[in-house]
């Protein structure tokens, strides 16, 4: 008798998968493994409420007057997970699961995040975090190295913190490296960024 697979038994709800990825987030470390918390990253990129919640878990509000707060071990672990998730986040807001990009989704997501984080006192750190994920941008269909919608968001008058986050993200994207005494890798990087 041939053994059959029960596919209904293999299905995992999105909620359960979310909890599993959150619980094992420290193990899903990009530099050492070729795995990532896809559902958590997609949720950051598609759900402004979730993104804002993660920002609030990790950073103190500018509206808080309390200077020092003692955290429980559980709160420290949650903050550590939040930091790891934001540090390794690669899916940009507005990016669809098939890799395409929706300007409308991105603009709505950004507008919602700005509103919520302004109200909670986390706007600056949220914009900086958004800027750092935008280094993983999608090229524009017209040939520009960055999608025009993302370029417009970075060029907005109120986007200085986002531009700073983008610069920091680009700088950090190189990771740990040894310095070549000839300077060849640095010259290649300079050429790449000058072309952009």
What are residue 25's phi and psi, to 5 degrees? -55, -40
Q: Is the residue at 71 inside a domain? A: yes
Per the structure, the count of domains in the chain is: 1
Q: Please state, in angstroms and rounded to a whole number, the distance separating the CA atoms of residues 161 and 128.
A: 5
| Residue 47, domain extent | 9-195
Q: Is the residue at 34 inside a domain? A: yes
Q: Is the residue at 137 inside a domain? A: yes
Q: Is the residue at 98 inside a domain? A: yes
Q: Is the residue at 1 inside a domain? A: no
* Claim: this prediction has a pTM higher than 0.85: no
pLDDT above 60 (res 8): no
Q: Is the residue at 30 inside a domain? A: yes
Nearest to 21 by CA among 1, 49, 50: 50
Q: Is the residue at 2 inside a domain? A: no
Q: Please state, in angstroms and rounded to a whole number, the distance separating the CA atoms of residues 64 and 43.
A: 27
Structure confidence by residue, pLDDT tens digits, 15-70: 777 777 777 777 765 555 567 788 889 999 999 999 999 999 999 899 887 767 78
Q: Which residue has the tokens 């929706």?
A: 102
- Residue 174 or 143, more confident: 143
pLDDT on residue 64: 84
DSSP of the chain: ------HHHH---HHHHHHHHHHTGGG--TTT-S---HHHHHHHHH-HHHHHHHHHHHS--TT------PPPHHHHHHHHHHHHHHHH--PPTTB-TTS-B-HHHHHHHHHHHHHHHHHHT-HHHHHHHHHHHGGG----TTS-SS-HHHHHHHHSTT-HHHHHHHHHHHHHTT-S-PPPTT-HHHHHHHHHHHH-
Q: Please state, in angstroms and rounded to a whole number, the distance separating the CA atoms of residues 24 and 36.
A: 10
Q: Which residue has the tokens 């003692």?
A: 70
Q: Is the residue at 40 inside a domain? A: yes
Q: Six-digit token pair at 130? A: 């958004």
pLDDT above 60 (res 3): no
Structure confidence by residue, pLDDT tens digits, 58-89: 998 998 877 677 888 888 888 888 898 998 89
């Amino acid at each position: 008798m041939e053994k059959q697979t029960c596919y209904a038994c293999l299905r995992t709800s999105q909620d359960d998968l979310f909890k599993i990825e959150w619980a094992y987030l420290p193990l899903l470390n990009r530099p050492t493994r070729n795995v990532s918390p896809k559902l958590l990253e997609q949720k950051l990129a598609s759900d402004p409420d979730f993104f804002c919640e993660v920002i609030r878990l990790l950073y103190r509000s500018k509206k808080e007057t309390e200077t020092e707060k003692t955290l429980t071990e559980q709160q420290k672990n949650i903050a550590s997970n939040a930091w790891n998730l934001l540090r390794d986040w690669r899916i940009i807001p507005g990016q669809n699961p098939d890799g395409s990009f929706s300007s409308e989704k991105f603009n709505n997501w950004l507008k919602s995040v700005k509103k919520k984080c302004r109200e909670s006192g986390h706007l600056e750190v949220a914009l900086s975090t958004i800027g750092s994920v935008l280094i993983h941008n999608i090229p524009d269909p017209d040939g520009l190295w960055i999608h025009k919608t993302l370029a417009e968001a970075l060029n907005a008058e109120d986007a200085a913190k986002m531009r700073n986050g983008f610069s920091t993200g680009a700088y950090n994207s190189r990771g740990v490296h040894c310095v070549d005494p000839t300077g060849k890798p640095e010259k290649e990087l300079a050429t790449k960024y000058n072309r952009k």
